[in-house]
Amino acid sequence: MGFRIGIDVGGTFTDFVLARPGGELVLSKVPTTLADQSLGVMQGLSALAAKEGLATRALLEATELVVHGTTTADNTLIEMNGAKVGLLTTEGHRDEIEIRRGYKEEIWDPAFPPPVPIAKRRHRFGIPERLDFRGNVVRKLDEEAVRTAVRRLRRDGIESIAVSFLFSFVNPSHELRARELIRQEHPDARVSLSHEVMPTAPEFERTSTTLVDAYVGPRVQTYLERLERALQEAGYRHDLLLMQSSGAIMTAAFLAGKAVAALGSGPTGGVMGACAAAQTAGVSDFIAIDMGGTSYEVCVVRKGRPTIKSFWNWQQRYLIGLPMVEMHAIGAGGGSIANVQAGALHVGPKSAKAEPGPICYGRGGVEPTVTDANVVLGYLNPEALCGGEFKLVSAGVRQAIAERIGKPLGLDVVEAAHGIFRIVNANMANAIRRVSSQAGLDPREFALVVYGGNGPVHAGKQAEELGIRKMLVPKTSPAFSALGLLIADYGVDLQRSYISPSGRASPGRIAELFREMQAQAESELRVAGLGPQDLELRRYLNLCYPGQTFDMSVPLAVSSVGGEIGAATLAATVAAFHDLHEELHTYAVREEEPILRSVRLQAAGRTPKPMVRRCPRLSTPVVEAVRSRRPAWFDGRFVDTPVYDGDRLGFGHRLAGPAIVEERFTTLVLYPGHTAELDEHGNYVVTVA
Amino acid sequence: MSAAAPRAPAPSVVFDPVTAEVIRGALETVAFEMATHVSLTATTPILNQSNERNATILDGRGRLAALSVGIPQFMLSSTLPVRFALDFFDQEGLHDGDVLVANDPYHGGGHLPDYNVFSPVLVDGRIALIASIQCHHADTGGGMPGGYNAEAIDVWAEGVRFPAVKVVDQGVERRDVLYMMKVNNRTPTFMGDLRAQIGAAQLGAKRLRELIAHYGVASVLHAVDHAIAYAARRFREEVASWPDGVYEADAFVDHDPVGNKDIRVHVRVTVQGDHLRVDFTGSDERQDLKAYSSFGNTRGYVVAQLATMMDPSIPKNEGFFDSIELIVPKGCCLNPSEGKTVAAGTHHPGVEVGEAIAKAMAVVLPERSCPQIYKLGMPTVIFGTHPETGQIFVDHSVDCLAAYCNAVKGQDGWGSMPASFGNLIRATAEINESIFPVRHECCDYATDTGGAGQWRGCPGSRVVKRVTAPAAVSTYMVGMKYPMSGVAGGRDGSPNRLIVRVGTEHAAHVACMANGVPHAAGEAFEYVYGGGGGWGDPLDRDPQCVLEDVLDEYVSAEAAEREYGVVLRGSAASGDLRLDREATEALRTANRRNP
């Protein structure tokens, strides 16, 4: 067994997790190279090899798996600097991408601007052609209209063309023919066909997803090809694998053809990492919270699995109809800016980001942030972060908080800093309450799994606020995104629309759709070296009640894959839908006939997991790990608080708050009444009294 | 009764601004939880996934402390029914564990389909807070199904009125009252939805008790005062930044459902320092209309419109509501005397309230004076017998389409509908065609329908729906004589235009009402929805933007010249469309001289 490497490119750092053949994990970070992320990746690999006492080539030749999480697709959508895109739709449906099913992000702001168009209206063409909902041709494809449109797009310098015709997922012939015509008229254009990107209704979701695929595709493809080449030239002999937004990994070659599935893969990796760490501690129902510099992300995990959502996923200003791990973000992080307006204190969502950053970064920031408050309160080391590598300055911090926050509120500097701390905690606790109420659960029955550079400073207060008793802060948490890459499985998640009142749905047609999807899954996963026998298949019907906007996946009620699908199967699945609806939404309307919207197949191919290595029990007295003491603000006064060196804490050590633990990439604040115990997997298991 | 959170510190009476802010956030979260509870537990699928629910927290005087809103226009009428209940029952008549229902437009409500359900939280025998949730229901009893009886002779014919009725008395359900409500409603899901609301109010009350146990009642009530004072301060700061003056405007409804024409809404807005007066004296006083906007509804539209004209971060609580001096003479179309019909009036003249305010304030608030309204009359309903099931189908046409999106200074109109309706998610062709025998042939923007202006109104859609089985089409139309108003010199948006049985010898324009117009299989109707109004003089629009608009076919080359005074050469098709700057300058100069 060789090395396995997870590489996650974030906004500031590129994180690496190396699993040695023996199972130990090695964490490392290098600065992200924004212009070409592959440079930072290759530099980081060299550094990693050096740490292992190997040449880069020797390391990569001995590596059997490189799994990568990239923000290339996300950045393209954030910066809106993707390809020049054209769109072909069914005539009469050219503008649905602008109409957006009526959705606008700000209901109180009439001056809120529209999204930057991926394809301007002049580059969107309605093509005479029409299918009915069964896929019958009502109007045949006007090939001349396609040619004329494509010539026009070519003339205007369009590089990438999305095609989204109504009901193409039932009968793709018009889209397929359109691709042939595009190839004839504009051979250099990349083509995204909606029935291939997302073969499901409805048309706005599918068109938006296809358009984004066309937009980010060329950049993602170029990047992946460059990185894969660099890795191979450096000695790596296997496929480069990538995290998808659904939490499953696939080959780079696959993702190059379906670039949109790479969106959001970074945060997804983080949640998968949290799942892996939680599993070692025997925690399966938890709320994962990630507090970085700018945002705070919340994800509910039940039975060890995050919720996957395939509807109404907005990424930047576009809708992605593919399955994505469900995350909720608010603007709360270390860089969140505090201000006083009309006598009320607000923190965030505006952030000082990495540049200029908090005042204490000494890079010209003048507005007080959460991190500045944490320095004043003694929670963070006032001299340096990251084990001393990242120096902080104290000049101006107290003064700015006193002037900008304390004075208008009539508070002294410490009260003002504590005010910032309390408001941001309240915002985060409210976010958890909202997410859990939407999921219909009581947060008190869940644990918190905490990560992100700033998460462990604040999480204890959120746990108190919410009545959560148990909290997990794994030592690996700063590299969760990279760790998650190493434990994810191969997977494809396929859907085919079949819209029909459930009683009128044909079992034969459903079986045919499953066969089609299974063939597709097998062919896609064959690229990753997996045969049909390696795949675990799960089949679902997506059902809803008449009038509902969104549907629900219900496992198909057959015991074995390949078992016959008949009327009884359908009836049993519909009965299960009523039950599931009652379980999740407290009621069922059994006299209503549910509508079948689509059928879904999940195919997973297990990857071997890094062997979990347990830490030996440390017998050194815990006081030997005390690095220093500093005054920190607890219960309304400064308390002389022990500061522990995380590197000297291990399995068996117990700590009682108030205490501060400085890990290399994060700081854990243990509040009075809280205790922490280190388990054999390097998790701080915090009990909130 | 109280379920204290663990480790509740001894309630202190120190009123610090940070604690107040923390409690304010917690109150808003309780409101959010109540609204979410309804979404998760309402038994009408269409209700639980739309956003027609509004949760509020009020104090013991019925002042709004916090809210969670779905669609502002439909939902800002929920405090007055609670105040009526407080007056009616008095302190001694309300207890912990009570839950009340109210829906009466003449006791603070908007219209009958909006049911308010609320529950008080008492401390030492005094009402401290009230948790309240409002939802739109599909039926109200009365003369016609659907809670929308355009033929009703009075409010009693519109449905059953509940001024303020206890359905739970100190924790004990009143079976008789609930049963009475059940038998007075046609829809089988009514009770399930009402129970979801009762559950939400009880959940809200429970959360509020926890909050009081944690912080102490004095701190919580101080936080409410703090939040209200904060909103009032922010509101007054905004008003103070506006120039003093008196601003007036009219808005009109084409006609009510029975054809009474030109219903006038007149507003006179007075800005004096930080004080704002909104006075509707002069609005239509005819007593024989079929459509009146109840006082609660009128007040809701005033608040909804003003809220979009201010910094979106100002909390919408009593401090906001209370800072508006609102004058609506009793007996006019916006505050009818008891008994008048209000179902249709909720929409028209209800929405014209917002339009009049936006028009009046355009000079003061150029960047935000955008009417948050629609000129829809009533959705176009298609009904018939589904050929495959033999059952009745009803397509309410909440389709993907664009209409009524005005521009504001600095921003062209865009998207589908005004910002306030951004939570209302519309149906799509692929879903609906699989369920109804109707084909969605077109919803494209219609060129030249957006009102011209320095900033252009969003075009309306040309919607064509063709039935594939015999069906009938019903609607009530407005916005033909009075389309969306242009603002500050911008042109009006295009008028609505509906042709039934389009392209056949029976084709006909709808003038006011369509009552079940039969369409044979294969026949279609064409509805060109009105565009948004423009903002500012079209001659001031950047010619480059006009060129872009023509390239994108939002505007035709002819309209570019006619409306904007922009002369173009070449054609988009041949790829050489370009601006003739000299000719444009000359034409604009001439047009300015002879407007």
The pLDDT > 70 percentage for chain B reads: 95
Condensed to tens digits (0 to 9), the pLDDT of residues A455-477 reads 999 999 999 999 999 999 998 88
Residue B135 Cα distances to A603, B117, B138, angstroms: 42, 9, 10
Range A81-211 classified under CATH 3.30.60: no
Q: Does A438 lie at the interface with B, CB-CB under 8 angstroms?
A: yes
Q: Which of B37 and A578 is assigned the larger pLDDT?
A: A578
pLDDT at B426: 87
Nearest to A110 among B44, B370, B402 (CB): B370
Nearest CB to A95: which of B6, B26, B443? B443
Average pLDDT on B468-476 reads 94
Bigger pLDDT: A70 or B531? Answer: B531
Task: Tell me the per-residue pLDDT of A549-599, one tens digit each, with 9 for 90 and over.
Answer: 678 889 998 754 456 788 888 999 999 999 988 877 767 788 888 999 899
Q: Whole-model pTM? A: 0.91
A vs B: CB pairs below 8 A: 243
With residue B90 as reference, give the H or E element that holds it: helix B80-93
CA–CA distance, B533 with A411 (Å, rounded to integer): 49
Q: Is the distance from CB of A165 to CB of A137 less than 8 angstroms?
A: no
Q: What is the pLDDT of residues B489-522, one digit of tens each?
A: 999 999 999 999 999 999 999 999 898 999 999 9
Strands A305-306 and A336-341: unpaired
How far apart, in whole angstroms, are the C-alpha atoms of residue A69 and residue A193? 25
Identify the pLDDT of residue B74. Answer: 65
Chain A interface, mutation test: which of B76, B421, B444, B461, most A Cβ atoms within 10 Å? B444
Percent of chain A whose pLDDT exceeds 70: 98
Q: Quick one: which of B90, B56, B119 has its CA closest to B300?
A: B56
- Is there a contact between B444 and A202 if contact means CB atoms under 8 Å apart? no
Query: For residues A643-656, b (16+ Cβ closer than 10 Å) or e, as one string?
Result: bbbbeebbbbbebe
Average model confidence (pLDDT) across chain A:
91
Task: Give the mean model confidence (pLDDT) for residues A287-313.
Answer: 89
Is B549 buried (19+), middle (13-18) or exposed (0-12) by CB count in 10 A?
A: buried
Interface list for B 427-486 with A (CB within 8 A): 428-431, 433-435, 439-445, 461, 464
User: pLDDT, tens digit, for every residue of B207-261?
Assistant: 999 999 999 999 999 999 999 999 999 999 999 999 999 999 999 999 999 899 9
Most B CBs within 10 A among A96, A469, A598, hence the mutation to make, goes to A96
C-beta of residue A604 within 8 angstroms of C-beta of residue A528: no
pLDDT-derived band at B104, boundaries 50, 70, 90 = very high
pLDDT digits (tens, 9 = 90+) for A288-299: 999 988 889 999
Chain mean pLDDT for chain B: 91
C-alpha dist (Å) from residue A668 to A424, A452, A454, A578? 17, 11, 9, 45
Of A94, A415, A550, the CB nearest to B444: A94
Write the pLDDT tens digit of every residue in A26-62. 888 888 887 788 899 999 999 999 999 999 999 999 9
Query: What's the pLDDT at B10?
Result: 43
Predicted confidence at residue B111, as pLDDT, reads: 87
Residues of A within 8 A of B389 (CB-CB) are 501, 504
Q: Give the HSE-up count for residue B440: Cα atoms under 13 Å, Cβ half-sphere.
A: 29
- How far is the CA of B296 from the CAs of A47, B108, B232, in angstroms? 69, 5, 20
Helix (H) / strand (E) containing B211? helix B190-215
Q: Which amino acid is at B496?
A: N
State how far the alpha carbon of B547 is from the alpha carbons of B486, B564, B568, B583, in Å.
21, 10, 7, 14
Among residues 149-168 of chain A, which lie with CB inside 8 Å of chain B? 152, 155-156, 166-167
CATH number among 2.60.120.260, 3.40.1800.10, 3.30.420.40, 3.40.50.300, domain A3-76+221-265:
3.30.420.40
Find out whether A624 and A571 touch, Cβ atoms under 8 Å. Answer: no
| CA A411 – CA A431 distance, rounded (Å) | 27
Residue A267 pLDDT > 50: yes
Q: What pLDDT, in 10s, does the model give residues B260-297?
A: 999 999 999 999 999 999 999 999 999 999 989 999 99
**Chain A residues touching residue B554 (CB < 8 angstroms):** 121
Tokens, residue B496: 């609505």
Identify the weakest region by mean pLDDT among B49-58, B162-171, B392-401, B462-471: B49-58
**Closest-CA residue of chain A to B408:** A111
Q: Letter for the amino acid at B444?
A: D
Whole-number Å distance between alpha carbons of B579 and A627: 72
pLDDT band at residue B161 using 50, 70 and 90 as cut-offs: very high
**Tens-place pLDDT, residues B326-364:** 999 999 999 999 999 998 888 999 999 999 999 999 888
Could you give the 3-state DSSP secondary structure of residue B154? Answer: coil
Write down the number of H helices and E strands in chain A: 18, 37
Residue B502 in contact with partner chain A when CB distance is under 8 A: no
Contact A202 B553 (CB under 8 A): no
Mapping DSSP onto H, E and C, the string for B466-507 reads EECCCEEEEEECCCCCCCCCCECCCCCCCCCEEEECCCCCCC
Express as a percent the part of chain B with pLDDT over 90: 72
- In B42-61, the residues whose Cβ lies within 8 Å of chain A are 43-46, 48-50
Statement: residue A308 has pLDDT above 90: no
Query: B344 near B148, Cβ under 8 Å?
Result: yes
ipTM value of the model?
0.91
Length of chain A equals: 689
Q: Which of B189, B370, B430 to mutate to test the interface with A (most CBs of A within 10 A)?
A: B430
Q: How far apart are the first and last CA of chain A?
A: 44
Q: Measure B439 CA to nearest chain A CA, in Å.
A: 8
| A408 contacts B6 by C-beta, under 8 angstroms | no
B175: pLDDT strictly greater than 90 = yes
pLDDT at residue B323 is higher than 80 = yes
| Per-residue pLDDT tens over the stretch A184-243 | 999 999 999 999 999 888 999 999 999 999 999 999 999 999 999 999 999 999 999 999
Specify whether the backbone of B303 is left (phi greater than 0), alpha (psi in -120 to 50) or beta. Answer: alpha
Q: Is the pLDDT reported for residue A171 higher than 50?
A: yes
pLDDT digits (tens, 9 = 90+) for A416-459: 999 999 999 999 999 999 998 888 788 999 999 999 889 999 99
Q: Which two tokens stand for residue A25?
A: 């994990």
Measured distance CA(A643)–CA(A255) in Å, rounded: 46
pLDDT at B2 over 70: no
Tens digit of pLDDT for each residue in B374-420? Answer: 998 888 889 999 898 788 888 888 899 999 999 999 999 999 999 98
User: Longest C-alpha distance within chain A, in Å?
Assistant: 82
Q: Mind listing the pLDDT tens digit for each residue in A353-410?
A: 777 889 999 989 999 999 999 999 999 999 887 777 778 898 899 999 999 999 999 9
Both tokens of A434, joined, read 């909202």
Residues 195-224 of A with CB under 8 A from B: 201-204
Residue B259 DSSP symbol: -
Cβ contact, residue pair B444, A100, below 8 Å: no
Detail the DSSP E strand segments found in A563-658.
595-605, 626-634, 637-645, 654-656
For residue B594, what pLDDT is reported? 82
CB contact at 8 A, A39 and A14: no
| pLDDT score at B7 | 41
Q: What would the pLDDT profile of A482-502 be if each residue is shown by its tens digit?
A: 888 988 889 888 888 898 889
Give the other-Cβ count within 10 Å of B571's Cβ: 12
Is the pLDDT higher at A368 or at B16?
A: A368
The DSSP call for residue B461 is B
pLDDT at B144: 76
User: What is the amino acid identity at position B362?
Assistant: A
Q: What is the pLDDT of residue B47?
A: 54
For residues A34 and A41, the answer to whether their CB atoms sit within 8 Å is: no
Query: Which pLDDT score is estimated for B8?
Result: 41
Chain B residues touching residue A99 (CB < 8 angstroms):
400-402, 415-416, 426, 443, 461
The values of phi and psi at residue A322, to 5°, are -90, 160
How far apart CA A158 and CA A181 sit, in angstroms, is 15
Residue type, A436: S
Q: How far is A133 from chain B (nearest CA, A)?
A: 6
Measured between alpha carbons, how far is B76 from B133 in angstroms, rounded to an integer? 11
Confidence of residue B9 (pLDDT cuts 50, 70, 90): very low
